[in-house]
Amino acid sequence: MDSSITTPRLDPAMWVDLHGDHLYRFALARVCDQETAQELVQQALLAALTARHLFRGHSSERTWLTAILKRKVADSLRTAVRRRVRQELDLDKAMGSRFTRNGKWKQKPGEWSSDDPGQELNRAEFRKTLDGCLSKLPTRLRQVFVLKYMDEEAVDDIRKTTGVTATNLAVMLHRARLRLWQCLTVNWFGEEPMTPSEGGK
């Protein structure tokens, strides 16, 4: 009680009411699984509770809590990715390749109806397609994107902290991109599947 004069005030009893939804959305956007998101918010708030004497008031209560949650989310994703690297590599072999035995495209990339991102209308349309494709992406592949893009994790950093080799990570990102690209290609063309002529034989 005496320390409250020098220590910035935190009100843990109000955390859930004040920041619960915000933190939940933060976690959910990254892990895409409601149960895991709830679990992570709980872990973060309990960690914050234990560490609240370390709060110096340099940032707002919410920013401080979010930073703690961010670390919990990153830990969780790293563990998940580490576990899945081998699985993913095996799965790829089983799924077959988009390339022939000679390493050529089985189906050649077609022209996207708009490669020009400068056109605002096409851009908005493209974003919509991307949103749809990202949400349909299998969790394990989405997680790789989240790690790379969402919190500006440098790829090197992921590699160090996950203990996966550079080669494996490159393969994971490559597969995730190829998969997303495939989805965009199919949906960017609309309902029409790619015709052989567009494949550029």
Partner 1 sequence: MITCRRAAVLISEELDYDLSLHLRAGLAFHVLVCMSCRRYRRQLGVMDEAVEEYFASARAVNPGETMPPSSKEQLKAIIVYQLDAES
Residues that bind partner 1 (CB under 8 A): 12-13, 15-17, 20-21, 23-26, 28-30, 34, 38, 41-42, 45-46, 49, 97, 99, 102-105, 108-112, 115, 117, 126-127, 130-131, 134, 145-146, 148-150, 155-156, 170-171, 173-174, 177-178, 180-181, 184-185, 200
CA distances from 166 to 40, 159, 184 (A): 28, 6, 27
Distance in angstroms (rounded) separating the CA atoms of residues 63 and 120: 34
81 φ/ψ sector (left φ>0, alpha ψ -120 to 50, else beta): alpha
SS3 of residue 28 by DSSP: helix
Would you state the torsion angle of the CA atoms of residues 91, 143, 159, 176, taken in this order, to the nearest 10 degrees? 50
Separation between Cα atoms, residue 188 and residue 9, nearest integer Å: 52
Give the orientation angle of helix 166-188 with respect to helix 61-95, to 10 degrees.
80
Nearer to partner 1, 6 or 50 (CB): 50
Instruction: Give the residue with the Cβ less far from partner 1, 31 or 80.
Output: 31
Give the nearer residue to partner 1 in terms of CB position, either 80 or 180: 180
Q: Identify which of residues 90 and 105 has a Cβ nearer to partner 1 in the complex.
A: 105
Which of 58, 103 has the CB closer to partner 1?
103
Interior angle at CA 93, CA 89 and CA 99, nearest 5: 115
- Output the smallest distance, CB 47 to partner 1, in A: 11
- The distance of closest approach from Cβ of residue 43 to partner 1 in the complex, given in angstroms and rounded to an integer, is 10
